[in-house]
């Protein structure tokens, strides 16, 4: 079994005591990792996830809640194995209560936007898993403080509704495997579920519907008493929702919240709502504005046990987006931030794309205020190494580190720790690998869609270049490139999207001088001959980025191949690096050719751009 960053951890016993508690597991993990320690563990149930560490002479004292002790234990083990010295006293508590991985696994075993093989949990309409591998996933999650796993796709495809019914005993058995690791399960539910069950409606204000959900919750919690709650995608991309009945999303979410409240469950309600049947001719609709327009008027109307889960950007996990204004505009509503570890638009776990710095950038604009949860779309699958690309594991690792302590989160330190736990490298090798991993986002960004343009991908697969693949489609994803210019003016003078931001960000984005280069074409329509801050024209910047990005992908490939990864990672990494370099070359040429055909501009440095 591939162990990823737990490679250096002591082996777990083959069989799991059914009554194993997180605190008992914490003790076992520590004793096995540091057999010589003079260790005192003190359980203080009220402390929950929190832990306190003290070293007095040769004695180590760890105090914490049931899960707190476990997180403390893993923190000590990570530090110890990574060779990081700890102070004599340390206290730690997570910044967010829900630290989630959302699996988009279907019961037929496929994974929507999965790039690491088939589902770890399902096959053929049923649960089907290797308990040892599931426990390993749970341990990976716990080792970085993650505490919820939503097991099925937010697009609830049948027979997933049986998770609320016939498959409950199996859901319970899976929860038993995760429980010692402090990981609670969540399920995605179909808002229209009552319709198929003898209730002629899914109207959230209908007493029969409310009753149906209350009974469903009772039934589910009888089997899985610590279920974290329901994840819901409603009125989005064809999914049903409260709008079907003329109700607001607050009314829809609150109905589910009422059903979960007696059981302590949470409704995580996704805010990914937009018009997915837009007319490309219609310039009066600007997709990034949709979520804010839908939810802002509902601020303050949601029940206490509802969390609105908002994607980091206003589009959909593109390579570069500004922070979603919805995250800044809902001061009276508990929010959750959603990111995507699954590399749908960021190389599909073929291309190296380390998100460690992305987390930092996202958090830079995010006020501490009312964020209650962090969720990441899973990049896990049944591949032997769980992540498709062995180095993609770092994204789950650093995401966990971020969720626990966003203030103290340091991308470089987090990646370093991951490398040390994963591979026994020399300092020079470690430095080389860390360097490429931290640069990998910039490299990918350079050779794909330029300066925040988004969506220049092949339809359906979302891998590889297709500058106008979505240009005349229904999805609101246009670049409107012509002979002179490219991009959409999203300022107050344009679609008005910037007006959804608080003044400081609005001004920053509206002014082409202060708008970050990486978002220039997200916010502005620019002429190809517009001069950038560094004196280059826009078109030359596009050409330069693409030539550089492809060249750097080749350099990265060569560098990765030179590193002494153990088998089988070595072969997998080499094979993916080859595919990435080819993909980068394709992106370079397609994007450069596309813009040259439109602009007529030659490369100032005379490099080859195909006709």
Closest distance between a second copy and the C-beta of residue 469, in Å?
Answer: 7
Buried b (16+ CB within 10 A) or exposed e, 578-608: ebbbbbbbebbbbbbebbbebbebebeeeee
Closest distance between a second copy and the C-beta of residue 571, in Å?
Answer: 24
Two tokens at 293?
A: 């327009």
CA distances from 582 to 350, 354, 519 (A): 11, 19, 26
Nearer residue to a second copy within complex by CB, 390 or 467: 467
Closest distance between a second copy and the C-beta of residue 288, in Å?
Answer: 19
| Unique residue bearing structure tokens 């563990």 | 41
277: contact with a second copy by CB under 8 A: no
The three-class DSSP label of residue 60 is strand
Q: Which of 581, 477, 589, 586 is nearest to 542 (CA)?
A: 589
C-alpha to C-alpha distance for 164 and 181, rounded to whole angstroms? 23
Q: Which of 481, 542, 572, 584 binds a second copy (CB under 8 A)?
A: 481
286 part of the active site: no
Stretch that binds a second copy, among 84-92, 176-184, 442-450, 460-468 (CB under 8 A): 460-468
C-alpha to C-alpha distance for 211 and 507, rounded to whole angstroms? 49
Stretch that binds a second copy, among 181-189, 230-238, 480-488, 495-503 (CB under 8 A): 480-488
304 part of the active site: no
C-alpha to C-alpha distance for 141 and 143, rounded to whole angstroms? 5
CA distances from 603 to 191, 494, 551 (A): 53, 30, 16
The three-class DSSP label of residue 560 is helix
Q: Which of 549, 366, 557 is nearest to 441 (CA)?
A: 549
Site for a second copy in 224-253 (CB under 8 A): none
Q: Which of 229, 288, 347, 465 binds a second copy (CB under 8 A)?
A: 465
466: contact with a second copy by CB under 8 A: yes
Q: Which is it for strands 51-56 and 98-102: parallel, antiparallel or unpaired?
A: unpaired
482: contact with a second copy by CB under 8 A: yes
Stretch that binds a second copy, among 44-52, 141-149, 279-287, 552-560 (CB under 8 A): 279-287
Nearer residue to a second copy within complex by CB, 96 or 594: 594
Closest distance between a second copy and the C-beta of residue 597, in Å?
Answer: 4
Annotated active-site residue in 66, 105, 344, 445: 344
108: contact with a second copy by CB under 8 A: no
Nearer residue to a second copy within complex by CB, 483 or 561: 483
538: contact with a second copy by CB under 8 A: no
Other residues' Cβ atoms within 10 Å of the Cβ of residue 271: 26
Radius of gyration of the chain, Cα coordinates, nearest whole angstrom: 24
x/- track of binding to a second copy for residues 560-589 (CB under 8 A): --------------------------x--x
How many residues of this chain bind a second copy (CB under 8 A)? 26
316 part of the active site: yes
- Is residue 257 a contact partner of residue 267, using CB atoms and an 8 Å limit? yes
Annotated active-site residue in 237, 361, 442, 544: 237
Q: Which of 166, 169, 225, 459 binds a second copy (CB under 8 A)?
A: 459
Two tokens at 508?
A: 């920053």
Q: Which is it for strands 122-123 and 126-127: parallel, antiparallel or unpaired?
A: antiparallel
Nearer residue to a second copy within complex by CB, 422 or 479: 479
Q: Which of 281, 427, 514, 605 binds a second copy (CB under 8 A)?
A: 281
Residue ranges binding a second copy (CB under 8 A): 280-281, 283, 459-460, 465-469, 472, 480-483, 586, 589-590, 593-594, 596-598, 600, 610-611
Active site residues: 237, 316, 344
């Amino acid at each position: 079994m591939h162990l990823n960053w737990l490679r250096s951890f002591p082996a777990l016993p083959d069989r799991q005591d059914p009554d194993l508690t997180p605190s008992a597991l914490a003790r076992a993990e520590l004793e096995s990792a540091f057999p010589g320690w003079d260790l005192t563990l003190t359980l203080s149930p009220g402390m929950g996830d929190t832990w306190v560490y003290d070293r007095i002479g040769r004695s180590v004292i760890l105090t914490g809640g049931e899960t707190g002790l476990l997180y403390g234990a893993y923190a000590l083990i990570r530090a110890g194995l990574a060779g990081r010295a700890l102070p004599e006293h340390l206290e730690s508590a997570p910044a967010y209560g829900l630290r989630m991985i959302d699996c988009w696994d279907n019961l037929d075993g496929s994974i929507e936007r999965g790039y690491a093989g088939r589902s770890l949990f399902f096959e053929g309409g049923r649960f089907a898993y290797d308990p040892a591998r599931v426990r390993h996933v749970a341990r990976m999650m716990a080792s970085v403080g993650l505490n919820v796993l939503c097991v099925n796709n937010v697009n609830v495809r049948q027979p997933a509704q049986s998770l609320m019914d016939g498959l409950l005993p199996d859901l319970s058995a899976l929860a038993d495997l995760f429980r010692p690791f402090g990981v609670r399960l969540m399920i995605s539910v179909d808002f229209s579920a009552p319709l198929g069950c003898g209730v002629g409606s899914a109207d959230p204000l209908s007493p029969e519907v409310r009753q149906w959900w209350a009974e469903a919750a009772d039934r589910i919690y009888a089997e899985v008493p610590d279920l974290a709650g329901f994840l819901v995608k409603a009125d989005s991309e064809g999914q049903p929702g409260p709008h079907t009945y003329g109700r607001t999303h607050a009314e829809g979410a609150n109905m589910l919240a009422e059903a979960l409240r007696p059981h302590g469950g949470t409704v995580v309600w996704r805010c990914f709502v937009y018009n997915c049947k837009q007319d490309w001719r219609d310039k009066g609709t600007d997709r990034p504005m949709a979520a804010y327009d839908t939810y802002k008027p509902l601020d303050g109307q949601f029940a206490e046990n509802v969390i609105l889960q908002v994607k980091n950007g206003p589009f959909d996990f593109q390579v570069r987006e500004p922070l979603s204004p919805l995250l800044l505009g809902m001061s009276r509503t508990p929010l959750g931030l959603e990111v995507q570890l699954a590399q749908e638009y960021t190389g599909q776990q073929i291309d190296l794309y380390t998100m460690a710095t992305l987390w930092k950038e996202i958090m830079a604009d995010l006020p501490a205020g009312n964020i209650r949860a962090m969720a990441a779309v899973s990049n896990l699958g049944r591949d032997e190494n769980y992540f498709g690309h062995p180095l993609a594991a770092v994204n789950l690792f650093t995401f966990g580190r971020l969720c626990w302590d966003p203030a103290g989160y340091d991308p470089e330190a987090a990646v370093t720790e991951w490398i040390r736990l994963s591979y026994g490298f020399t300092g020079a090798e470690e430095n080389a690998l860390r360097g490429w991993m931290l640069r990998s986002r910039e490299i990918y960004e350079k050779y794909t869609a330029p300066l925040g343009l988004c969506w220049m991908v092949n339809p359906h697969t979302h891998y590889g270049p297709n500058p106008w693949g979505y240009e005349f489609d229904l999805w609101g994803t246009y670049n409107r490139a012509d002979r002179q210019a490219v991009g959409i003016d999203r300022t107050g003078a344009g679609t008005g999207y910037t007006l959804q931001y608080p003044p400081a960000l609005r001004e920053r984005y509206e002014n082409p001088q202060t708008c970050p280069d990486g978002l220039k074409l997200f916010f502005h329509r620019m002429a190809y001959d517009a001069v950038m801050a560094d004196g280059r024209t826009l078109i030359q910047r596009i050409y330069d980025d693409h030539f550089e990005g492809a060249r750097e992908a080749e350099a990265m490939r060569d560098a990765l191949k030179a590193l002494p990864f153990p088998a089988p990672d070595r072969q997998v990494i080499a094979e993916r690096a080859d595919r990435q370099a080819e993909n980068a070359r394709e992106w370079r040429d397609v994007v450069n050719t596309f813009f040259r055909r439109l602009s007529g501009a030659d490369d100032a440095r005379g490099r080859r751009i195909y006709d």
